[in-house]
Amino acid sequence: MNDFEATRAWAEAQDAADPLRSFRDAFHIPPHDGGDALYFCGNSLGLQPKTVRAAIEAELADWSELAVEAHFRGRSPWMHYHEYVRDAMAEVVGAQPHEVVAMNSLGVNLHLMMVSFYRPTAERPAILMEAGAFPTDRYALESQVRFHGFDPSRDLVEIAPDGPGGILSLEAIERAIAEHGHRVALILLPGVQYRTGQVFDLARIVQLGHAQGCVVGFDLAHAVGNLALALHDSGADFAVWCTYKYLNAGPGAVAGAFVHERHARAELPRFAGWWGHDKATRFQMGPQFVPTPGADGWQLSNPPILALAPLRASLELFTQAGMARLAAKSRRLTGYLDWLIRTRLAETLDIVTPNDPAQRGAQLSVRVRAGRDAGRALFAHLERHGVIGDWREPDVIRLSPTPLYNRYLDCLGAVETIASWQATSA
């Protein structure tokens, strides 16, 4: 069992003993009513690290003082800028450095990866995905199927959730792969389901997919910076993610992509650009594209320095904290919120997210038992009282205590705010 207590004294003692407590001071916490808001929305937009402003200003200064020369003589020469985030990002996702690259946005990377990794044939035309996926993923996959001249009604196979609240069991995935695998070119699943917060077993899915001859890729939007991932060891062919959620790199920040090292030198078809060309000869400006080995070979353009600077600043905090320590705190912190909801709010709320800590990250998705209208009313009450979560149609409130900046006291405060609504609406 656990040692949790629903008291301020207990929560404050936990926060005081938290080895990661100083990281909260590294962030701007949005204010509410003279104090700090209780921010539970790191799953949607992570908070701003205080070091970001100086990081951007340093690049602005180099631009104003050195202009084009900053590519070579800047404090952080722009020529190599995307490489400055590589090691830290590889560490966060559990990959080798040459397997990851920061570029574009998530949706763009998903399409670029599919150019290389979705190669449908008449015998094997299909993509296997989850029903209820994030819209971009469905739109991207459906449009790729159409682009190749196949029919989404037949060749986009969606696995229906088989558990309460939209949970999708591993058995259902296994059954779908066993049934459809022989005609599936690509399996694409999330690391963490955005609406339910459910975690998927990447290594097992790769194993099942590869056994049937399928390529396997992941959308890690809600997994990166949330779970201690082992992307290389999972054997996944590719993965994509954004960096503005748990990675705190700012609105619309530069996204990430992973290409497993077994494809690092493969002559995969791709959409090419000069920044993906072999570094040694890029500036010879020759007509023949020779890809840089590894994930860098999928870059199109010279990188957006002002957008990478915040990612670099943010990743420094992840390097200092370490994913293993963050994941350990996250389990306990989310476990505390889960326990508080189950013990204090069981009549009002259902938790959709699996109770098993191995099947969830920071996020808890809850539904108000009284239905959608009551759910909207509770959500409005939370907003009024400075508890910031988010609403996902049709009826889910997502609350994500993140281990870098959330406290045990925040979890208690959120539950007390919900309890005060429960009292008035009863």
Using CB under 6 A, pick the residue from 159, 242, 254, 366 that binds ligand PLP: 242
Using CB under 6 A, pick the residue from 94, 190, 256, 297 that binds ligand PLP: 190
277 is in an annotated binding site: no
* In the complex, least distance from residue 222 CB atom to ligand PLP, rounded to whole angstroms: 5
Of the pair 27, 244, the CB lying nearest ligand PLP is at 244
Separation CA 242–CA 44 (nearest Å)? 10
Q: Does 236 bind ligand PLP (CB under 6 A)?
A: no
Using CB under 6 A, pick the residue from 219, 296, 338, 395 that binds ligand PLP: 219
Q: Which of 86, 101, 114, 107 is nearest to 268 (CA)?
A: 114
* In the complex, least distance from residue 192 CB atom to ligand PLP, rounded to whole angstroms: 8
* In the complex, least distance from residue 145 CB atom to ligand PLP, rounded to whole angstroms: 17
State the CB neighbour count (10 A cutoff) for residue 55: 19
134 is in an annotated binding site: yes
Q: Does 411 bind ligand PLP (CB under 6 A)?
A: no
How many residues in total does the chain contain? 426
Using CB under 6 A, pick the residue from 107, 197, 209, 276 that binds ligand PLP: 107
Of the pair 41, 221, the CB lying nearest ligand PLP is at 221
* In the complex, least distance from residue 97 CB atom to ligand PLP, rounded to whole angstroms: 23
Of the pair 104, 234, the CB lying nearest ligand PLP is at 104
Unique residue bearing structure tokens 């990478």: 308
Q: Does 222 bind ligand PLP (CB under 6 A)?
A: yes
Contact region with ligand PLP (CB under 6 A), list: 47-55, 69-77, 92-100, 219-227: 219-227
Longest CA–CA span in the chain (Å) reads: 73
Residues sharing a CB contact under 8 Å with residue 178, sequence separation 6 or more, in sequence order: 212
Q: Which of 390, 386, 348, 387 is nearest to 369 (CA)?
A: 348
Separation CA 361–CA 353 (nearest Å)? 9
Q: Does 105 bind ligand PLP (CB under 6 A)?
A: yes
382 is in an annotated binding site: no
Question: Where do the H-state alpha helices sit in 250-392?
Answer: 305-321, 323-344, 372-384
Under DSSP, the state recorded for 395 is T
Separation CA 171–CA 15 (nearest Å)? 39
User: Could you tell me which residues are beta bridge partners of residue 398?
Assistant: 365, 390
Contact region with ligand PLP (CB under 6 A), list: 1-9, 101-109, 172-180, 202-210: 101-109
Cα four-point dihedral sign 119, 124, 129, 134? positive
**Residue 350 host element (H or E):** strand 349-351
Termini Cα distance of the chain: 31
Separation CA 286–CA 359 (nearest Å)? 50
137 is in an annotated binding site: yes
- Which residues, 120 to 149, sit near ligand PLP by CB under 6 A? 134, 136-137
Residues sharing a CB contact under 8 Å with residue 125, sequence separation 6 or more, in sequence order: 145, 148, 150, 155, 183, 185
* In the complex, least distance from residue 347 CB atom to ligand PLP, rounded to whole angstroms: 31
* In the complex, least distance from residue 122 CB atom to ligand PLP, rounded to whole angstroms: 30
Q: Does 188 bind ligand PLP (CB under 6 A)?
A: no
Separation CA 365–CA 2 (nearest Å)? 21
222 is in an annotated binding site: yes
Q: Which two tokens stand for residue 227?
A: 């779970």
Using CB under 6 A, pick the residue from 27, 194, 336, 405 that binds ligand PLP: 194
336 is in an annotated binding site: no
Q: Which two tokens stand for residue 321?
A: 């904290």
219 is in an annotated binding site: yes
Of the pair 192, 295, the CB lying nearest ligand PLP is at 192
Residues tagged in the binding site annotation: 106, 134-137, 219, 222, 244, 274, 302
Query: Where do contacts with ligand PLP occur on this chain (CB under 6 A)?
Result: 105-107, 134, 136-137, 190, 194, 219, 221-222, 242
